[in-house]
Chain A
Amino acid sequence: MDPTQLTIAEASRAIADGSLSPVALTEAYLDRIAALDGELHSYVLVLRDQAIDAARSLAGRPRQGALHGIPIGLKDIYKTRGIRTTAGSRRYLDHTPDQDAETWVRLRGAGAILLGKQETHEFAIGGPDFTLPFAPARNPWNTAHYPAGSSSGTAVAVAAGLCAAGMGSDTGGSIRGPAAYCGIVGLKPTYGRVSRRGVFPLSYTLDHCGPLTRTVEDCAIMMAALAGYDPQDPASADVPVPDYRVALTSRLDGIRIGVIRHFHEHDAVAAFGPDSAPSAAYTAAFDAACHTLEALGARLVDVKLSPLIDYLDANRLIMLAEAYALHEQDFRERPQDFGHHMFARIALGAFLTAADYVEAMRQRRELCVEFARALDGIDVMVSANSTGPAPPIDAIPTYSTFERASYTGPYNLTGSPALSVPIGFEGGLPLAFQIAGKPFDEAGVMRVGHAFEQATDYHRQRPPIAAPLPGRS
């Protein structure tokens, strides 16, 4: 059979029992990239020779764990020593770092193989932008549609079977948005849980690094390698890391789940207008997902928080201020090096004051306390993700980031772990919801996501382009 159809957990078992070799698995992924990525644009650099060499080097070495021989990709903001890392920008088009991102060091140490660097919105914010050196990645379910961003290439590659898993980054939803539109799993871990060292920053206090995978179990496998203290990341937290796979169960008896309905049922339209209304199919899918959680034994209770916009605009203002501070000198001295969307969005940060930033941070603290109190007596929260199917890729306005409702930003503001899981389809395109939890309780979040997967089959449905190549099935 085609080994690229296997999850990480399945491929890992096959490698362990000798029925699959890392070289065969790596070559199968490289063949798919060569055959399909001309249409999907998920990679900006394919490391064919290096990947095969790395796979060969694993032969005869003791198996290091579940990632031994598993081919992955990295969003092109993760620095890779001796390998071009562009951040999706002309500004760094010829940039070859002399260090590796700490996350890549950990994944490689666990036996992962790097297939290549994957398309990103410019500096994780400017996209989809057709003025950039690299074409925007396209949704594998329908290439006329948007895969969301900014971890676009990684989500597309995972969904289309062009890598087993990948690493994204998330400042306002850049892991969970693409996971939702591409029908896969994306985890934004707790702020401080996974090192950001060696990853191009967008916004220091909101940036998170995390995995995109096909299943929650695969996510747990990635997190086993990724999670943990990094003394050289100033925001890293020295908190014990549990065995994430042990926590995965098929029942949720005794689990208490808060449901934040007002974000999508009321707040989105109230603050952003009718264009932000959830589709009827989305509302039905969200309600059905909640019923599934109840059927698994969980007890659900509606939760009321401050309005969505209070969370979103505090998040957006902080992001703008921090991102502008990072790029101010370049914006003044070499604006021609930036794509249209990146410049138009982040230059707005020039018009914020120091008092605006401080007020946003004060509001952030209030909302963090509110969210923590709401979780008192509750194990996890569920809330909407993108509340409709992916739109056409050529219909994304410059200021889409600010003019529409989004449901992912609140958890960047609070730093909470948040997982996107598929919950259905509309018009042949995936839908998803989020499961968020208490600080450093990624295990609890993944437990709920995994149990939901065991009761549904949305995560098993793959886009037609993910089918085995001719002669491989």
Chain B
Amino acid sequence: MADQTISSERFAVLVEQAGLKLTPEQFAELHDGYRFVQRMQRVVRRARDRAAEPAHIFVHPRAERP
């Protein structure tokens, strides 16, 4: 479940910033879909220890095997 919490005017600013040129139908559909973006943001944005990093490790390719 995800509730709509952004006005058309504010959403138009986001679309402009993204550089997308939308038809009225596309604008309405993406505006409706934006509630899912907001839900995802709520789910992943939470208090974490600063040391909780997404631990990237580097693996270099070996030489081609025979």
Q: Which residues of A contact B (CB under 8 A)?
A: 229, 231-232, 234, 236-238, 271-273, 309-310, 313-314, 316-317, 320, 331-332, 335, 343-345, 347-348, 350-352, 356, 358-366, 398-399, 402-403
The 4 A-B residue pairs with the shortest CB-CB distance, nearest first, are A361-B54, A350-B18, A313-B43, A402-B36
Interface pairs (12), CB distance under 8 Å: A229-B62, A231-B62, A231-B63, A314-B40, A317-B41, A317-B44, A347-B30, A360-B40, A360-B44, A363-B44, A364-B54, A366-B48
A169 to B65, CA, bound (A): 26
State whether B21 touches A335 (Cβ < 8 A): yes
**B:1-50 near A, CB below 8 Å:** 1-2, 14-15, 18-21, 26, 29-30, 32-34, 36-37, 39-41, 43-46, 48
Total count of chain B residues near the partner, CB < 8 A: 34
In the complex, what residue of chain B is closest to A311 when comparing beta carbons?
A: B43
A317 to B37, CA, bound (A): 8
State whether B34 touches A348 (Cβ < 8 A): yes
Chain A nearest CB: distance from B34 CB in Å?
Answer: 6
In the complex, what residue of chain A is closest to B34 when comparing beta carbons?
A: A351
State whether A332 touches B21 (Cβ < 8 A): yes
In the complex where A272-B1, A344-B30, A350-B18 touch, is A365 in contact with B53 (Cβ < 8 A)?
yes
- Give the number of A-B contacts (CB < 8 Å): 102
State whether B20 touches A358 (Cβ < 8 A): no
In the complex, what residue of chain A is closest to B23 when comparing beta carbons?
A: A335
State whether B54 touches A313 (Cβ < 8 A): no
A309 to B36, CA, bound (A): 12
In the complex where A348-B30, A356-B41 touch, is A362 in contact with B63 (Cβ < 8 A)?
no
Instruction: Name the one of B37, B54, B59 contacting A348, with C-beta atoms under 8 angstroms.
Output: B37
State whether B44 touches A347 (Cβ < 8 A): no
In the complex, what residue of chain A is closest to B56 when comparing beta carbons?
A: A361
A231 to B61, CA, bound (A): 5
Instruction: Name the one of B26, B30, B62 contacting A238, with C-beta atoms under 8 angstroms.
Output: B62
In the complex where A231-B61, A231-B63, A362-B52 touch, is A347 in contact with B40 (Cβ < 8 A)?
no
Q: Which residues of B contact A348 (CB under 8 A)?
A: 30, 33-34, 36-37
In the complex, what residue of chain B is closest to A399 when comparing beta carbons?
A: B33
